[in-house]
Chain A
Amino acid sequence: MKNFQIQHRKEGDIDILELHGELDAHTASHLEEWFKKLLELKRSSIIVNCNDLEYIASAGLGVFMAYIEDLRELGGDIKLTNMNGKVYDIFNLLGFPALYDIVDDERDALKLYSDGPQAGK
């Protein structure tokens, strides 16, 4: 998938996924595989860094919707960081900021994880 890539890093118990490119109905399965894999490993505390995410369609949003409950049931979460304005507008339109932690950068997201086990949402 030349127009979408994911890079993975670990920061202790937290997994950081960096998204690069365009997340649409074609590339969403790639992100879904990562969430599935992390769930299987019971690694539920995830930060998704959207710094290089240039585009998102509803199929991409759907992946965040489909896995958040399973991750929260394990005591984890998905925290989103570094979103550009265009991508944030789409998350915002659907009401994501009320239900997901969307913060400026990874440091803020790590702080939220160290302050409490789960977002109070």
Chain B
Amino acid sequence: MEFSRNLVINASTDHLAEVREFTGRHAEQAGLNRKAISELQLAVDEACTNIIKHAYNYDQRQKVIITADPTGDGIRITLRHEGRPFDPELYSKPDLRQQISRKKRGGVGVWLMETLMDRVEFVRKAEYNEIHLIKHRQSSERDPE
């Protein structure tokens, strides 16, 4: 069965469950296993949450366009937005002990995306920005650190 390749949502966290469902359907169709599907759903959720929060500052009139493309060996999910781009270089693995002692909670999303995906690309164009999340059917085993 064919599903629409695109999902367009307003920039509200209200739509995250729908985004995960869209991702899950396409990942399943692309032949990913259950664990890989869950990891992709989380990465797409984190990317979408970051766009809503940081690129659009919760402006619900703005749109996020999510596209699923099967690749030869898996799937690529593209999230396009016209908000502020964010710099992935600023993120590293969060130091949990330090974060909780400072009562901080941020900075985890991008690290999770990069850890769970085979490839993450942040693309800046004149008119829009994109995040590409690529997951293979046979992912290499995760390096624990």
Contact = CB atoms under 8 A, between A and B. Distances in A.
A25 B20 CA distance: 12
Contact of B100 (A24, A59, A90, A99): A99
Contact of A69 (B17, B52, B100): B100
Nearest to A95: B96
Nearest to A61: B108
Nearest to A66: B105
Question: Chain B contact residues (Cβ within 8 angstroms of A): what range?
Answer: 20 to 34
Contacts, number: 72
Nearest to B115: A93
B49 to A, nearest CB: 4
A70 B42 CA distance: 28
A86 interface: yes
A103 interface: no
A58 B112 contact: yes
Interface in A20-71: 22, 24-26, 55, 57-59, 61-63, 65-70
A94 B110 CA distance: 12
A96 interface: yes
Q: Could you say which of B96, B106, B115 has the most chain A C-beta atoms within 10 Å of its C-beta?
A: B96
Contact of A25 (B49, B94, B97): B49
Contacts of A98: 96-97
Nearest to A67: B103
A24 B19 CA distance: 12
A62 B103 CA distance: 9
Main secondary structure of the interface of B (DSSP, over half): helix
B46 interface: yes
A96 B105 CA distance: 13
Interface in B78-106: 94, 96-97, 99-101, 103-106
A66 B105 CA distance: 6
Contacts of B49: 24-25, 57-59
B108 A26 contact: no
A67 B45 CA distance: 23
A86 B39 CA distance: 9
Interface string A70-106: 1000000000000000100010011110110000000
Given A61-B105, A68-B100, A94-B108, 9 more contacts: A25-B53, A55-B42, A62-B108, A65-B105, A66-B105, A69-B101, A70-B103, A96-B96, A99-B97
